[in-house]
Structure 1
Amino acid sequence: MRVRVAAPDAALRASMHTALGRAGVPLVREPSSDAVLLAAASTVDEALADCQGGNQGGIVVVADRLASEGVRRAVRAGVAVLVQSARATPTRLAAAVRSAHDGEGRLPHETLVRLLGTDRRKQAAPPRLTARQLVMLRLMAEGLDNIGIARALSCSAHTVKNVIYDLMSRLQARNRAHAVAAGVRAGLI
């Protein structure tokens, strides 16, 4: 997994190179069909300008502001992962690159809530979840897998699997992303 960084100014490009280097992510200078493209700018639209033609290795956008319309355009353009600049630590950038490379999508929780923008008055009563299910749903929203949740809660991966199975049933969700979206719409997250 390799990354090419695109940014409108050299200082921003250098800071992304430094952060990715600290995370041990190999960088390439020239476009490559298998490399993940990390486009960084102050807005999503500015970052999208560097994504013309797409990228088969996956696309990560790092921007100061993640406005709803820009995020929608980014998703339509094939961007897999969006990261807010203020939260772009080396660890988060490495995780974002890995997600884009694997074809997984990631959005910051606040951005997802804003995009879903549901009217709480029109909703049915939220499903009743146990305290443990709520904690696991929130950890799923943070992007943790079963093993990560098990470590965070000091329990076995088997326990996590069973709790998530019941959680998915209560939320009538098809997959983890659907469960998180249902939790956001229901005001549980």
Structure 2
Amino acid sequence: MKLVKVAVLASDPITKAGAASLLGTRAELQVLPEDSAAQADVVLVMEEHVTDRVLARVKELGRESEHLAGPDLVIVADHFRESDLMTAIECGIVAILPRRETGGAELVAAVLAAGDGTATLPPRLQGALLGQVQRMRRDVLEPNGLTLSGLAARECDVLRLVAEGFGTEEIAAKLCYSERTVKNVLYGLMTRCGLNNRAHAVAYALRAGAI
């Protein structure tokens, strides 16, 4: 059984103590004090409003964390601004739950799911997130020749053909590039992403869902 370290942050001491007590009843959870939140796998944030101050604290946790990507964050709040959604995702928030509708069982389930790498967003926020991602793709990525994976469109084109077993000369002919251009595309990608060879580049693109 995987032991998940969890810390609770809340401005209301009664809410904080109640959540910590509830989570502490589960054998698979180890509740850490707030001053050890940087060591947690999951941080539970319980507030009425997700304010700029709360988001700033969350960002600070990411910088202090012992984990490379920061802890996974579960937010329980009554009021959450859709405009803050992308910022929240960047900060490591994997679950947002409505405070008034979240009981003890739902709270524990969300923390355990976060510890297992599962995200939980209300349908309203899922729709808002998809809308923001689509706008980012349309207004920022596509005009600069990029995709959501961070790879340029022509990098994806070249890697698809590499994955199909084509050599440099064949790829150049199919894409109407020079062989030098194909080599430069692959070299630029491998240098930027720290990849060792073409096979590594294909594997990277597959994991990113780019090809």
TM-score band w.r.t. shorter chain: 0.5 to 0.7
Partner residue of 1:20 out of 20, 23, 26: 23
Match of 1:36 in 2: 42
One-letter code aligned to 2:56: A
Paired residues, number: 118
1:84 partnered with 2:87: no
Partner residue of 1:110 out of 124, 132, 137: 124
SS of 1:106 mapped into structure 2: coil
Higher-Rg structure is 2
Match of 2:147 in 1: none
One-letter code aligned to 1:13: K
Match of 1:186 in 2: none
Match of 2:10 in 1: 7
Q: Is the contact between residue 41 and residue 62 of structure 1 (CA under 8 Å) also seen in structure 2?
A: yes
Partner residue of 1:49 out of 56, 62, 71: 56
Q: Is the contact between residue 36 and residue 58 of structure 1 (CA under 8 Å) also seen in structure 2?
A: yes
C-alpha deviation, 1:63, in angstroms: 1.1
C-alpha deviation, 1:107, in angstroms: 0.4
Match of 2:85 in 1: 71
1:95 partnered with 2:101: no
C-alpha deviation, 1:32, in angstroms: 4.5
Q: Is the contact between residue 5 and residue 42 of structure 2 (CA under 8 Å) also seen in structure 1?
A: yes
> TM-score with structure 1 length normalisation?
0.53
Q: Which runs of 5 or more structure 2 residues have no equivalent in the other structure?
A: 133-211
One-letter code aligned to 2:42: V
C-alpha deviation, 1:38, in angstroms: 0.8
Q: Which runs of 5 or more structure 1 residues have no equivalent in the other structure?
A: 119-189
Q: Tell me the distance in 1 between the aligned counterparts of 2:121 and 2:21.
A: 23
Identity %: 26
CA shift in 2, pair 1:37/1:79, >3 Å? same
C-alpha deviation, 1:10, in angstroms: 0.9
CA shift in 2, pair 1:72/1:32, >3 Å? closer
Structure 1 residues 1-25: Cα deviation after superposition (integer angstroms, max 9, x where no partner): 1211011221221232244345664
Q: Is the contact between residue 38 and residue 61 of structure 2 (CA under 8 Å) also seen in structure 1?
A: no
Q: How does 1:125-164 map to 2 (within 5 A)?
A: none
Q: Is the contact between residue 80 and residue 100 of structure 1 (CA under 8 Å) also seen in structure 2?
A: yes
Q: Is the contact between residue 82 and residue 108 of structure 1 (CA under 8 Å) also seen in structure 2?
A: yes
Q: Aligned-pair RMSD on alpha carbons? A: 2.5
> TM-score with structure 2 length normalisation?
0.48
SS of 1:65 mapped into structure 2: coil
Structure 1 residues 95-116: Cα deviation after superposition (integer angstroms, max 9, x where no partner): 2112221222210122223444
CA shift in 2, pair 1:23/1:70, >3 Å? farther
Q: Is the contact between residue 43 and residue 65 of structure 1 (CA under 8 Å) also seen in structure 2?
A: yes
One-letter code aligned to 2:85: V
Residues 71-80 or 29-38, more deviating = 29-38
SS of 1:75 mapped into structure 2: helix
Q: Is the contact between residue 58 and residue 100 of structure 1 (CA under 8 Å) also seen in structure 2?
A: yes
